[in-house]
Amino acid sequence: MTIVSEHDIEELRFSLKNRLGEALLLTSQEDMLRYCRDWHGDVTSSAVAVIRPRSTQEVSDTVRACAELGLAIIPQGGNTGLVLGGIPDAPKHQVVLSLERMNAIRTIDSDDFSAVVEAGCILSEFKDAVQDKGMFFPLSLGAQGSCRIGGNVSTNAGGINVLRYGMTRELVLGLEVVLPDGTIWNGLSTLRKDNRGIDLKQLFIGAEGTLGIITAVAVKLY
């Protein structure tokens, strides 16, 4: 479907609301503004909608609905990326999928020195929770009070501890990802010695959302 008019966009919004429910969607320009503007405030875009799922299943439902409607998806974490990768560049054909409501820490395991955290958790909040349990998560960067774990993994962020602990890639043990057809891929293993087959998670680390939407991450702790 070629989308040309405001009427077409309203129809798409209506279809999205029917499929996903009103509670997941923001559609007014005012509500969408902060998701469609880059961190510096230099570039302001727009979108058909901003969708804010609360669970992996809702991310999957969103991906399926957007595929049916021919809408491209821009995943967004904290929107600190600074290179416009997390905001729309074709507003009439794209939705922003914000992970901000998926911010739970699922587990922190002090026997295994590992944790499983949802993609929308703010990095500094996760680090504080880990510290409260007497452990340390080394990823440290200027944006840590705003950026979200899924964004860190998607950009394979480095930060100030990279020489000692490695890039984000080195800290990831497993991922949960919603693939472009809506399938949920559960690769949330915390196993250190994991030599089973192809290490699929590596494809999604640093992929900036091009291959799937990261919904949860298993990480190493120290």
Binding site for ligand FAD (CB under 6 A): 74-83, 85-86, 99, 119, 141-143, 147-148, 150-152, 154-155, 157-159, 208-209, 213-214
Task: Let me know if 115 is exposed, middle or buried by CB neighbors in 10 A (0-12, 13-18, 19+).
Answer: buried
**Cβ 54 to ligand FAD shortest distance, Å:** 14
Nearer to ligand FAD, 12 or 118 (CB): 118
Nearer to ligand FAD, 127 or 148 (CB): 148
Nearer to ligand FAD, 25 or 96 (CB): 96
**Cβ 175 to ligand FAD shortest distance, Å:** 9
What is d(CA 31, CA 38) in angstroms, rounded to the nearest whole number?
A: 15
Nearer to ligand FAD, 15 or 166 (CB): 166
- Structural contact between residues 69 and 132, judged by C-beta atoms closer than 8 angstroms: no
Nearer to ligand FAD, 81 or 138 (CB): 81
Element (H, E) at 186: strand 184-187
**Cβ 77 to ligand FAD shortest distance, Å:** 2
CB atoms within 10 A of CB 138: 20
**Cβ 207 to ligand FAD shortest distance, Å:** 7
**Cβ 208 to ligand FAD shortest distance, Å:** 4
What is d(CA 33, CA 36) in angstroms, rounded to the nearest whole number?
A: 5
**For 74-107, b where at least 16 C-beta lie within 10 A, e where not — what string?**
bbbbbbbbeeebbbbeebbbbbbbbbbebbeeee
Torsion of CA 178, 155, 72, 216, to 10 degrees: 20
**Cβ 129 to ligand FAD shortest distance, Å:** 17
Task: Let me know if 197 is exposed, middle or buried by CB neighbors in 10 A (0-12, 13-18, 19+).
Answer: exposed
Which tokens sit at 124?
A: 């500094």
The residue with its CB nearest to ligand FAD is: 151
Nearer to ligand FAD, 6 or 42 (CB): 42
